[in-house]
Amino acid sequence: MATLGNKSDQEIRELLDEYGIKHGPIVNTTRALYEKKLREAMAKNNVTKPSPDKTFYREEQEEVTYVTYRTPVMSAGPSGDGKPYMRSRPEYSERDFVDDKLYSRSRPEYSSRRQYVDEPHVYNTPSSSSYSKPTPVVKSGGGVVEEEKTESSGRLIPLWIQFLVFLIVAGFLYFIFINMESAESSPFNRIQ
Amino acid sequence: MSTTSQKHRDFVAEPMGDKPVTALSGIGEVLGKKLEEQGFDKAFAVLGQYLLLRKDGELFTEWLKDTSGANSRNAASCSQCLREWCDSFL
């Protein structure tokens, strides 16, 4: 597609309009400039399209870990969905080379499919993990065993600081309690 | 902060007539020679190119950099010079 030198002036003009490049008449002195701009625009289009795919892939990797983690807990549903991800990835990269139209078509299809399937998974896992963690912490007090090291689920104050403050307050109250005078032996003994 | 040079002020003050290309702000000896080699020996030829590019400053600076090897500063200076000249005389 890079044989811009062979195209007629009209075709260059059409290509410039397609890429939305503002231009003047195609004359011998202006033609080289417009060819260069077209090449840049083509290269930019080819470069920007894969990078959103890369972010999809990165997100996809994270989601794949969610899915595989949950397969022991839940049976066929998520694991069945994991496979189409793996399959669609090589299929997607093959389509990349074949045709531009196929490319643009498969991308919204891919992203919409991903959105349909992924978002319930993505939303379920962090919310369930964040709700399940605080209740055992509050009940058991200081000695909480961290069974899974999940990422911080968006707390304003880090968890360890909350533990520390709780321990300090509890210790302080205990200290006061110990140093209270017992009510049985009253200080007002009669001197006998 | 548009501190224009004397050359700029001289150019935009009057119709360019047959002034050489080195009369343009930002175009010195070296750039002038390169432009003359490309066939742009007079200021009005460069003006013609500016007008062909629909007086788009960005396109013109890009063209000037490609054609004469000008740096961004000189190209922008020439572009502004032509723009102001066109505002007054075109």
Within 12-41 of B, beta carbons closer than 8 Å to A belong to 39
User: What residue type is B5 in one-letter code?
Assistant: S
pLDDT at A186 over 50: yes
Higher-confidence residue of A123 and A179: namely A179
pLDDT at B82 over 70: yes
Q: Quick one: closest CA in A to B66, which residue?
A: A33
**Residue B62 in contact with partner chain A when CB distance is under 8 A:** yes
Q: Residue A52 — pLDDT band, cuts 50, 70, 90?
A: low
Q: Residues A92, A146: contact at Cβ < 8 Å? A: no
Residues of B in contact with A24 (CB under 8 A): 52-54, 56, 59
Contact B66 A36 (CB under 8 A): yes
pLDDT mean over A35-61: 71
Q: What is the ipTM of this complex?
A: 0.86
Instruction: Identify which of B39, B54, B66 has the shortest CB distance to residue A33.
Output: B66
pLDDT at B25 over 90: yes
Tell me what pLDDT residue A9 has: 87
CA distance A171 to A107: 59
Q: Residue A86 — pLDDT band, cuts 50, 70, 90?
A: low
Higher-confidence residue of A111 and B30: namely B30
Contact A30 B63 (CB under 8 A): yes
Q: Residues A52, A111: contact at Cβ < 8 Å? A: no
pLDDT at B45 over 90: yes
Contact A24 B63 (CB under 8 A): no
List helix spans (H) across chain A. 9-18, 28-48, 50-70, 76-98, 100-132, 134-140, 159-178
DSSP 8-class letter at A2: -
* Predicted structure pTM score: 0.48
CA distance to partner chain B, nearest, from residue A11 (Å): 18
Mutation for A interface: B46, B63, B65, B67, most A CBs within 10 A? B63
Tell me what pLDDT residue A146 has: 46
**Residue A29 in contact with partner chain B when CB distance is under 8 A:** yes
The mean pLDDT value of chain B amounts to 93
Express each pLDDT in A92-131 by its tens digit: 545 555 555 555 455 555 544 555 555 555 455 554 444 5
Using the structure block, give the residue that is written with the tokens 């993505």.
Answer: A122
Percent of chain A with pLDDT over 90: 19
Instruction: Identify which of B39, B54, B59 has the shortest CB distance to residue A33.
Output: B59
Percent of chain B with pLDDT over 90: 96
Residues of A in contact with B53 (CB under 8 A): 23-24, 30, 33
pLDDT mean over B25-48: 94
**Residue A139 in contact with partner chain B when CB distance is under 8 A:** no
Tell me what pLDDT residue A172 has: 96
A160 class by beta-carbon count within 10 Å (0-12 exposed, 13-18 middle, 19+ buried):
exposed
pLDDT mean over A22-36: 90
**Residue B66 in contact with partner chain A when CB distance is under 8 A:** yes
Residues in a beta bridge with B42:
B20
- The 8 Å CB, 24+ separation contacts for A39-45 are A39/A2, A39/A4, A42/A1, A42/A2, A45/A19
Higher-confidence residue of B49 and A60: namely B49
Nearest to B70 by CA among B86, B42, B38: B38
CA distance B30 to A126: 65
Percent of chain A with pLDDT over 70: 40
Residues in a beta bridge with A1:
none
